[in-house]
Chains A and B, each alone.
Chain A
Amino acid sequence: MMDILSSFSFQIVAIGTMILAFACGVIGTINVLRQNSLIGDAIGHAQFPGVVLAFMIVGTLDALSLLIGALIFGAFAFFVIQMINQYSKISLDASLALVLSSFFGFGMTLKSYVQGSSAYGHTGGIDDYIFGQAAYMLRADVNIILIVSAISLLIFIFNYQRIKIFIFDPVYSHMIGNKPTVMNALILVMTIGLIAAGLKAVGVILIVNLLIAPGVIGLMWSKRYLYVTLIAGFSGLVSAFVGTYISTAYVGFATGPTIILCLSAIVLFSILFGTHGAVRNGLMRRRHAA
C-alpha cells in the first residue's frame, strides 16, 4: 500500500483529482440548488469543438491553448442556451440537449476532418477530452487544475454571502443591488472554468458527476448551506482519493469512472440513510401519521 501512496504518478493523479473534486463539489452545490445541474453536461460536451478548433489553430495538444478553446466554446454554448431560453418557447432541458448534441456533433465533424487531413499531426489524445485519461495526468495538467480551482474557490469565498442570497432568494438578491446578470456571470465563470480544466483529466461524464453528486450528498446531511458546501467538497475529495487508489492498485479500473462509482456509493448511502434521507424521512412521516 505504501508503494502506491509514495509513487509519483499516484501522487500527481490523486492531488489533481482531489483538488478538482473538492472545487467541483463546492461550486456544484450552486447549480444543484438552482435546479440547473445539467448545465455542466451541456457545457462539457459543447466545449469539445473548442478543443478541436484550438488544436487545429495551434497544431499541438498544448494543454493551455486547448483550455482556452474549451473556455470560449463553453461560454458560447451558455450564451446560445440563454438566447434559446429567453427568446423562444423551447424549454430549458430541450435547449440543453440541443446545444449539447449539436455542438458535440460539430466537434466530432471537425475531428473527423482533422483525422482525414494530412495537414495536421498526431491527434491521439483528443479523445481524452471526452472520456478523460486521469492516469496519464501530467504536472502541467495538475497546475492548470490547481490554478482554476483556486480562482473558482476564491471567487466563491469572497462572494459567499451574495451567492447564498442569490441561490435562495433571487428576488431579494436583486432588490439589495446584486444584478442577476452579474451573479449569473460569476457562477458561470466558476462552472465553465472548472469544466474546462477538468475535461482532459477526467472527461465530460465525470465532470458532470463531480458537479452534481457531492452537492446531493451534502443536501442529504444538512440544511445549512455552509455545511452542505463543506460536506460536498470533502465527499468529492475523499472519493477522488479512494477512486484514484483503487484504480492504481487494481488493473482495469479507469480512474474517472472509479471515482464516479465511489461518489455514487456515497450518494446511494446518503439518500437512504442521511439525516435528510429517505429512511429518516419515511420514519418521520409514519410517526406523524400515527
Chain B
Amino acid sequence: MIEVLIVLIMTALATATLGVFLLLKKEVMTTDALSHTIILGIVLAFFLTEDTRSPLLILGASLVGVLTVVLIQWLQNIKLIKGDAAIGIVFTALFALAVILISRFLDHIHLDLDIVLVGEVLFAPFNRMELFGYSIPVAVVQLGIMAVINLLFVVVFYQALKITTFDQIFARSIGIFTVLIYYALMVLVSVTAVTAFDAVGAILVISFFVAPAATAYLLADRLSHVIMLSLGVAVLNSIVGFFIGYYSDLTISGTTASVAFVTFTIAFLFNKDGFISKRVRRKEMHSDLLQLMMLKHIESVSDVGKEDVYSHFNQSQRMLDDAFQSLQKRNLITSTADKMRITDDGVRLIQAKQVEFGLTTRGVES
C-alpha cells in the first residue's frame, strides 16, 4: 500500500515541476495533445518489440509525443491555422490512427480502455525489479528518476527557463536558445507523461501537470515560490486522493484529480485576490469608509438625530445600522435619547485620518 502511495507522489512530483512552466508558457493543451498521442507511440513500438514491458515502448512513445509537438509547432508556424485548432486536428488524427491500429492488428491483446485513460496506480507494485538487493516496483524507480531529472532540469536551467518563459524576445537577444529550451521542456514532458501513463493514464496526467501549478500560481507571486508550492500542493493532493480512493475502493487517479480540483477551487476562492476574498475586502472597505463619513458628519453637526444622519447617506438601512452600531461599539460616538455626539476617541481618529488622507491645512502648508 505504501508503495502505491510512493508511486503516486513520485508521479505528482515529476509532473508538477514541469507543470508550472507549461502553465506559464500556455502550453497545457499541447500537453493534453501529446498525452493522447503517446498511445500511438506505444502501439507502434509494440509492433517492433512485441513486448509490453520493453523500455523501447517508453522511447517510441516519447518520440511520438515530441513528433506531436513538432507537428503542432509547424502548423502554427506556417500561420494558416490558429494555434488551438492546430492542436485539435493533430492530436485527434494521431489518436484515431492509434485506435484503428489497435482494433485492426492488436485485437487479440486485451486493452483495458479505463487503464489507457486513467491508469491504475494499484497495479504499479506488481512489476518489480532488484535494486541494491532490494525488490522495488519498477514504477518507483522510473518515476523517481523522472522526478529527479525534471527537478535538476529546472534547477540547472532556472534562469534560462525563467527568462524564456516571461520574455522570449529578450531571451533570444541575450543569446538563450529559446527553441532548444522549449524542445527540451517538451521532451521531458513527453517522457514524463509516458512514464506516468501506467499509473495515471492519458487524460488524468493533465490534471497532475496543471492542477498543482495552477493552485500554486494563485497563491504565490515569485516563480521559485510557485514551483516549491506546486510541489507541496501536488504531494498533498496525492496523499488525500490516495486515502480517499484506497479506502473507498475508487480509482485512485480519479480521486486525486477530483481532490486537485477541490484544492484549486479553495485557492481560487480564498487567495488574496480570490473570488470571495476580494468581495469580503471590498465590503470591509465600504463599511470602513461609511463609518468614517458618518463620524465626520456627527463631529461637524453635534447632537444630531439618528434619522438626520441616515438621511445624508444613500445606503441601505442595514449598512447604516451596522456602521452606527460599530461606531458605538468602538466608543467613537455616544448616543443618548437619539442625540449623537462624538467622543474624544472619535475626534482623535478623525484627526489621525485627516493627516493620513492629507486633508489637513497643516498638511497643505508643509
Contacts and interface: CB of A to CB of B under 8 A. Distances in A.
Interface of A: 32, 35-38, 40-41, 45, 83-84, 87-91, 93-98, 100-109, 111-113, 116, 127, 130-131, 205-206, 208-209, 211-213, 215-216, 219-220, 251-254, 256-258, 260-261, 264, 267, 271, 276-278, 281
Contacts of B99: 131, 254, 256-257
Among B84, B100, B203, B213, max chain A CB count under 10 A is at B84
Given A102-B261, A276-B80, A109 B254 contact: yes
A97 B218 contact: no
A95 B214 CA distance: 9
B96 interface: yes
B307 interface: no
Interface string B80-106: 111111011100110111011001110
Interface of B is mostly: helix
B54 to A, nearest CB: 24
Interface in B105-129: 105, 107, 113-114, 117-118
Among B92, B105, B207, max chain A CB count under 10 A is at B92
Contacts of B254: 105-109, 112
Nearest to A92: B26
Interface of B: 23, 26-29, 31-32, 36, 75, 78, 80-85, 87-89, 92-93, 95-97, 99-100, 103-105, 107, 113-114, 117-118, 203-207, 209-211, 213-214, 217-218, 245, 248-251, 253-258, 260-261, 264, 268, 273-275, 278
A261 B99 CA distance: 11
Among A89, A101, A211, max chain B CB count under 10 A is at A101
B218 A88 contact: yes
A109 B264 contact: no
Nearest to B206: A101
A264 B117 contact: no
A123 B302 CA distance: 76
A213 B84 CA distance: 12
Given A253-B104, A257-B99, A35 B83 contact: yes
A257 B96 contact: yes
Given A91-B26, A98-B214, A101-B207, A277 B257 contact: no
